[in-house]
Each structure stands twice: as structure tokens, then as C-alpha cells.
Chain A
Amino acid sequence: MAVVEAEGLARTYRTSTGVFRRRTLEVEAVRGVTFEIAEGELFGLLGPNGAGKTTTIKMLITLLLPTSGTARVLGYDVARQPREVRRRIGYAFGGDRGLYERLSALDNLRYFAELYGVEPREQRRRIDFVLDLVGLAGRERERVEGYSRGMRQRLHIARGLLHDPPVVFLDEPTIGVDPVGARDLRATIASLVEAGKTVLLTTHYMFEADALCDRIAVIAQGRIVAEGTPADLKRTVADLTVVEIEAFGASEHVIQRLRGVEGVASVAVEEQEQAQLIRVQAASGLELTQPLLRELDGARVGRVAVREPTLEDAYVALVTVE
């Protein structure tokens, strides 16, 4: 049975510009996504910034009304039965915000336990349990403003689990957290699934999705461009080779020329401090280094490497499709 179902879910934002001549702009953040999550599954929603991950999750947790399409959580419609949905879900957003900074973690948890209708005689036990689960036991009386980002993130998760919800939504829970903290958080997320919960995780870290998720949907420009197990996604790039070129001062025009080289499947540019790391995915068996360097005429070139594709390359290929 599907615990979470989204059918043609779409959301358009309207914004206005101008002072005297007001003009309304429409931005299609999510353009009709359809997916299902089975009971006990850890489902990953992957995509770059602005792809529509957070908007999708906000519709599912009843914070935004869909412009079109429907979504149900445990059979309850997120637009028409928000209270029924809210009782049965927990969620945590990534980042520093979303906590009462001047108060202690314990104050925060007591308040949310009340908002989520946790029975008064159960509250202390649940709070102790979630604090222990996320590794904050013993630090609960400290003010949140003194917490590190990793601790805040763990507190977010603890808050989302207070009422023992069967479905949990985690929106980029490891964003900005140091590697050790992120590893601990991933262990906590894995333990949720072991405890029988259904989890929807959004992230733009491919290795994180690979390590945790049973299934992944890749979302780009508001649409799902691929869905399957991590192994399925890896297979989509099995016949590709990756050429990595460190360049300095390559213009957008030059990048467009690279895309036009015969055999090139995709080109992604990662801006680094001084340089640009250009990742070119191309059909394996082709010698493309020289043609690519010819097209880079005018830009200074540093290191060049050819390697086998990874899961991250599969993701890059999917989200950079024109």
C-alpha cells in the first residue's frame, strides 16, 4: 500500500514587480510530479537548488496548497484534510531556522509536544526518547542559541518525532553540517526506517541518497526526470566516460561550444575559487580530449582527467539535460 501518493502535483508562485505599473509574474516551481512511496520505504527526492524539492515537500506536509494535482498521505488529501495529515506526519527542515532560540531545547520540545497533542503523562517519556535518539540527552537545558548547526539539526528531527508519526519528511537535513555531524545524522535517519517509519528525504548530495535511499526520484526544473533504485540510476551512465577539465575564464559561449562537440552527452560547470571545473560526459570509447581542448581556445586550461562515471555523474547527467 502506498503511504504517500502524488499525482500530477503542481505549484505556481505569483509575484509582483514594479511600483506604479504592477506586473504579475508566474513561476512554475513544480510542474506535475507523480510518485508513490510504500510503507517502510526511504524515498529520496534529489535535485539541484530551485528544482522544486522543498515546494513538493511543503505541499505534502500541508504548508502549501497545490495549484493542480492531488496528493495523499496515508489516504488523507493534503489540501482538503490537512489536520488529519498533520496528526500523522513529522518533518524537519534543514538549516539554522525553525527553533525558539532564546529558550532551551527542553522548552521547545515541551511546547511542540503540546501542539502535537502528546498526552501529558507521555510527554516526559517521549521527550527523553527523542533526545536520546538524536544524541542530545544531557544538553536539553541549554538555550538553543548556543547550539551548533548539527545540534540544531538534530533538535529539528527530535521535534518532528515527538508524536511518533508513521511518516517523516526530511528536507535537506544535513545541509551545512560538518562531515562527522552529517554522518551521525545519516545514522539517525537510517534508524528511523529500522523503526518502521516511512521517510521522504530531499537532498542534493548523491552519496547520501545512495547510502540511505531504497528508491530515488531525480527532480529538475519542477519535473521528475528519473526514478528508480540507486543501482538503476547508476546504470543510466554505465556507457559514458567523464572528462574533467580545470579551466580559467571559460565563457558561457565556450561552454556552449563544448556542448556542440560530437559525442558529448552533457556539460556541467562547477565554479571553484579561481577556476571552473568542467565535467563533460560523453559516450565511452570516443577520444574527446583533444576536440574539447580545441573548443576551449581562449580559456586557460589546468588539469585534465578522464575517468569512469560515478552515481554523482548519473545525477549530473539527469539534471543538466537541456
Chain B
Amino acid sequence: MKRALRLTAVGWVFHVKGLTMSGFFVVTTTFLPLVLATTASYMARAGQRQGTLLYVSLGAGVMGIWSSTLFGSGGAIQWQRWQGTLELIVAAPARFVLVILPLTLATATVGIYSLASTLIWGWLVFGVPFHLVHPFLFVLAVPAAVLGLGLLGLVLASTFVLYRYANALSNMLEFPVLFVTGLLVPVALLPGWAQPVSWVLAPTWGMNAIRQAALGGSPLDDLAMTLLLGACYLVLGSVLLENFARLARDRATLALT
């Protein structure tokens, strides 16, 4: 257990450092949500909804974390395949889930840049006050949401290990999840069939927890659901990764050649 935690921590630091060194990744993560936040802010103003600017700003920030996780989990594994390191990490004796988990957690962590940049942008350009009703719970909710997103990334990453061109899937998933999880519009406004889908996605609950901590309310239930779903993703991701890694050895999809 101690070894597993140490490997996760060392791998997380290693990948956060590697991703932060990538100018492209950081610029994309920092600036894309600003476009989304700006659009969403004008939509909110046009709709003359009072008190929604911080709500929208936080949503846009978490959208950035989701984009970073999705792009990072898929892109990073595809990148590792391209640079020839995927074979090296698969062939390491460590459990495969402990090799990939730090990577997906790192991509979600780097997404925090999105949240920070969006809040600063909202404050500077739109005068969105950054007043937190429960600052302590907000500090708990953000890492919990990042953890939930990172663990969802782990499930996605398992498919990226098996399929060489799975980043096409990641591009396809970005916007449906933004809508279904209520990052842009409240889940209550979605059609009935979409709501059960939102319940099994950790970003829905992570987003709720962050908003409740910032705008007032009780985020603890949402926090617990985020962590519970995260634990389910960890088990599912672990099983899928072990099986997909074996299939990838059978189908020879770990390398490009």
C-alpha cells in the first residue's frame, strides 16, 4: 500500500512537471476556457439572469479541467505511444493501473490552471466578484472534483491503450459531457433522459460541490458522491486496464510500428 501511494505520488509529480513543460498543453488549458467563459457570460447577461456570473465562471473553469483530462488522458497516451514510452511503462513490473493513474490525475490537476485563469478573467473583464460562501469547503471541493475527473480519465485511458486512434473518441466526448454534467447549463434544464446519464458522471457532482461551496448550500453530499463514483471508476479502470493491456500485447497496438 505504501509503495502504491509512493508510486502514485512520484508519477503524479513527474507527469505534472512534464505537462507543465509543454507550452501547447498549458496554453490550451489556460486560454480555451476563457473563450467558453466569455461566451457563457454574454449568454447569461443576454438572459438577464441575476447572480449567475460566478456560477458561469466556475462552470467554465471546470469545463477546462474536463477538457484537460480528456485531451490529456487520450492525447498523453497517444503521445506516449508516438514517443515510444508507452511500451516502456507497460513493460514495467508495477501494476498498470498505478502507472496510468498518476498520468490521468496529472492531466486533471493541470486543468486547475483553467479554473484559476477563468476566475481571474471573470474578475478582470466582467467584474465577477470572487466571494466564497464556504472557503474551506471550496478548497476541499476543488481537489475532490479533480480526483473524480482524473479517475474518469483513467477509465477513458484504458481504451486509449488498446486503440491507436482513440483520441477521435476523446474529441467526440468533450461537448456531450460538458452539457450532460451541467457545467454550462443546470442539469435540471436537461431533457429527462439525460439526467440519469449525468448522475453516473463524477463531474456533475464535483461541479455541484464546487458551486455549493462557492455560492452557498451544502456541498458535502455532492463531495461524497464525487468520491464514491471516483472509487467505482478506480475499480473499473483497474480491471479494464489490466485486460486491455493484455489485449494490446495480443493485437500489437502498444507501438506505432
Contact = CB atoms under 8 A, between A and B. Distances in A.
Chain B interface main SS type: helix
B91 A13 contact: no
B39 interface: no
A13 B252 contact: yes
Interface string A272-283: 000000000000
Interface residues of A, number: 31
Given A86-B91, A115-B7, A97 B84 contact: yes
A288 B84 CA distance: 49
A207 interface: no
Interface in B221-257: 246, 249-252, 254-255
A101 interface: yes
Nearest to A95: B84
A209 B87 CA distance: 26
Nearest to A12: B252
Given A102-B18, A111-B14, A63 B93 contact: no
B89 to A, nearest CB: 7
Contacts of A115: 7, 11, 89, 92-94, 99
A91 B91 contact: yes
Interface string B80-100: 000111011111111000010
Nearest to A156: B88
A252 B91 CA distance: 43
B21 A65 contact: no
A63 B85 contact: no
Contact of A103 (B17, B91, B93): B17
A68 B200 CA distance: 42
A58 B249 CA distance: 10
A64 B249 contact: yes
A83 B11 CA distance: 19
Contacts of A61: 91
Task: Report the 4 A-B pairs with minimum CB-CB distance, sorted nearest first.
Answer: A97-B84, A98-B84, A115-B92, A102-B21
Interface of A: 13-14, 58, 61-65, 83, 86-87, 91, 93, 95, 97-103, 107, 110-112, 114-117, 120, 159
19 contacts: A63-B90, A63-B91, A64-B249, A65-B250, A86-B92, A98-B84, A99-B83, A102-B21, A103-B14, A107-B14, A107-B17, A110-B10, A111-B10, A111-B11, A111-B14, A114-B10, A114-B94, A115-B11, A115-B93
Given A95-B84, A102-B22, A115-B99, 11 more contacts: A63-B87, A63-B90, A86-B93, A87-B93, A97-B85, A98-B83, A102-B21, A114-B7, A117-B3, A117-B93, A117-B94
